[in-house]
Structure 1
Amino acid sequence: MSEREREREDRPHVAVFRPDDERLATARSLLEELGADPVADPMLAVEPTGDRPVDADYVVFTSKTGAELVADDWEPGTATVVAIGPKTADALEAAGYAVDLVPEEFSSTGLVEALADRAAGATVEVARSDHGSPVLLDGLRDAGATVDETVLYRLVRPAGSGHSTEAAAAGDLDAACFTSSLTVEHFLEAAAKRGVRDAAVRGLNAAVVGVIGDPTRETAASHGIDVDVVATEATFETLARETVAALDADR
C-alpha cells in the first residue's frame, strides 16, 4: 500500500449522496478539505419534465436545479420571484432573473412565513420537483393564497447506486450526510435491493448521521436510523462541517 493509500485509509469514511454533477464534485472537495475520505454514492438523478411555471402573483423556486431548468425560456412577467435560499437565488440571477424575496429560514416553513402576510387573495405558483413537501402548499393555502404547483423535474435513484449501503453494512462508514428525505429513502431502497437493509441501518447507527433539516431527520427516524446532527443551516457545507465536527469529537 502506498503512503497516499495509507493516508486515505486513516481518514474517516463519510458517505455523500449528492447528484452526480458539480454538486457532488464540490461536496467531495469539501469533505477532503475537512480531512475525510468521501464515499460518493449519488442517490438522486434529475429527469426534467419540460414544464414551466404558469403566470401568478408570486412564483416560488425551491431548488437550484429548478432555477437552472427554466433558464432562458421562462418569462416571469410581473410576478414576484421568490427563492428558497441563496443558492437558488444565485442560480436565478445567473440566468438573468431578478429575485425579489428570499426567506430568513431556507425551508418550506420559512417560505410560508415569508409569504404569509402577502398570501391572502394572491396567486402563488410553486415550481419544484415531484418530491416537494406538502408543508409549502398547505401553508400557503391556509394563509389564503390560490396555489398551483408545476413539477419541473422528477428525482429518481440512479441505476447502479448503492455501494455505500454495503460499506455501511460492513461497518466501513464513519459518517453519512443525508441532504433530503428522498436520499434516505433511496439509500434504504438500494440497501434492500442488495439484501443488506437491516445491516446497513445498524451500520449507520454505529456511525455519525447528519441530515440537512427536520423533515429529513423525521424520515430517517421513521426508518429506525438514529440522527446525530441536524445542520443549523440548510446547506451542504454546514451539514458537512457539522457532521465531520461531531465525528471528530467522537473519535
Structure 2
Amino acid sequence: MIQVLKGKRVLITRSAGQASEMIARVQDYGGEAVTVPLMSYRFVPVPRDERTRWLDHVSRADLIILTSGNSVDFFMRTLDTPARIRGKRLAAVGRKTARKLADAGLKNVYVPEKYTGKALGKALLTGTLHAERIVFPHGSLTDPSWIHDLKSHGFNVTERTLYETVPDLSQKERLAEIMRSGEMDALTFASPSAVRFFTEMLNEETWKKALTASVVGAIGPSTAQSLDALGFAADVIPKYFTSVDLIDALANFYNKRKKSST
C-alpha cells in the first residue's frame, strides 16, 4: 500500500471499541493514528412491564431495521432468545452492520445502495422493499425524520430507544491538549454526534482553529451537514459510508494533493 499518509497525524474520534479498523488503515498508509474517543454508549433496558409487549412486536414484525453495529448489539440484549428473530427479514444500513448480523447467524438482510436511513426509507416508500409491520430499535441521537415519513405514509413502525450516546468527558482535557498543540494534520468524524461532542468538549476558539487548520473527513452526508452547520465544509467524504472507506478517501485526498503540487 502506498505510504501517502507518512508523516501525517490523523485524529480518530470513534469509541475505543470501534476504532481498531480505522487505526489499522491509517497505519497501512504510513500515518499515525491519534485516538480520542469522544463518546460512549449506555444500554437502556426495556422495563419489565413493557418487555412482553416489546417481544410481541418483535415476533409479529415482518421487518426489523438496524442502522448500526451498536443497534445490533443492544437489540440482541433485549431478546429472550435469538430464535425469536430467526428467519425474520432484516434491513441494515451499511455492510458493516450487515456483517455483524451475519456473524450472529442472521443473513436475510437487505442493505440499501446508499448507506443511510433515508435510503432505506426510500426503498420502503417506493416498494423496492416490502413491509407492513416494522420494528426499529435505535440510539438516543438517531435522526427520526425518515421514520416519520414512513409513519405518515401509513407504515406501522414500532420504535424503541435502546441506548444513549453520551460524551466521554474523561477525554476532555486530552482532546484540548492535542488540539492546542496544532500537530494534527487530519480530523475524522464518523457521526454527527462526534462533531457535536468535539465542539462541546472544546472552547470555541480551539475547535474553530482546529477545523480551519486541518483536513476534515466526514463519514457521510449527515456528518458533513453537521460540519456545514458550523460553517465548515468537509474536505473528504467517502463514496461508501464506512470507517475504512473514510480513511481510504483521506489517503486519496493526500495522494491527489501530492500529485498536483509536483
| TM-score range for the pair, normalised by the shorter chain length | 0.7 to 0.9
Q: Structure 2: which 5+ residue stretches go unaligned? A: 1-5, 47-53
Aligned residues of 1:201 and 1:224 also touching (Cα < 8 A): no
DSSP-derived class of the 2:194 partner = helix
Q: In the alignment, what sits opposite 1:28? A: 23
Q: In the alignment, what sits opposite 2:50? A: none
Aligned AA for 1:25? S
Equivalence map 1:47-62=2 (5 Å): 47-51=42-46, 54-55=57-58, 56-62=61-67
Question: Are 2:198 and 1:187 equivalent residues in the alignment?
Answer: yes
Question: Are 2:188 and 1:177 equivalent residues in the alignment?
Answer: yes
Q: Find 1:112's aligned residue among 115, 121, 132.
A: 121
Name the CA shift for 1:206/1:76 in 2 (closer, same or farther; >3 Å).
Answer: same
CA RMSD of aligned residues (A): 2.3
Structure 1: how far apart are the matches of 2:213 and 2:226?
A: 18
Structure 2: how far apart are the matches of 1:165 and 1:110?
A: 36
Q: In the alignment, what sits opposite 2:234? A: 227
Question: Are 2:200 and 1:204 equivalent residues in the alignment?
Answer: no
Equivalence map 1:1-251=2 (5 Å): 11-21=7-17, 23-51=18-46, 54-55=57-58, 56-71=61-76, 73=79, 74=82, 75-76=84-85, 79-118=88-127, 122-162=132-172, 163-192=174-203, 197-250=204-257
Percent identity of equivalent pairs: 22
Aligned residues of 1:168 and 1:204 also touching (Cα < 8 A): no
Aligned residues of 1:57 and 1:80 also touching (Cα < 8 A): yes
Name the CA shift for 1:120/1:67 in 2 (closer, same or farther; >3 Å).
Answer: closer
Structure 2: how far apart are the matches of 1:96 and 1:83?
A: 14
Aligned residues of 2:98 and 2:109 also touching (Cα < 8 A): no
Name the CA shift for 1:142/1:104 in 2 (closer, same or farther; >3 Å).
Answer: farther
DSSP-derived class of the 1:187 partner = helix
Aligned residues of 1:208 and 1:228 also touching (Cα < 8 A): yes
Structure 1: how far apart are the matches of 2:216 and 2:11?
A: 10
- The Cα of 1:245 is off from its aligned counterpart by 2.5
Alpha-carbon displacement from aligned partner over 1:124-167 (angstroms, at most 9, x marks no partner): 21111111112331232244312221112111111322433443
- The Cα of 1:238 is off from its aligned counterpart by 0.8
DSSP-derived class of the 2:201 partner = helix
- In the superposition, the TM-score normalised over structure 2's length comes to 0.81
Alpha-carbon displacement from aligned partner over 1:189-223 (angstroms, at most 9, x marks no partner): 1113xxxx322222221211010111111111212
Aligned residues of 1:120 and 1:144 also touching (Cα < 8 A): no
Structure 2: how far apart are the matches of 1:205 and 1:166?
A: 17
- Higher RCO (Cα < 8 Å, 6 or more apart): 2
- In the superposition, the TM-score normalised over structure 1's length comes to 0.85
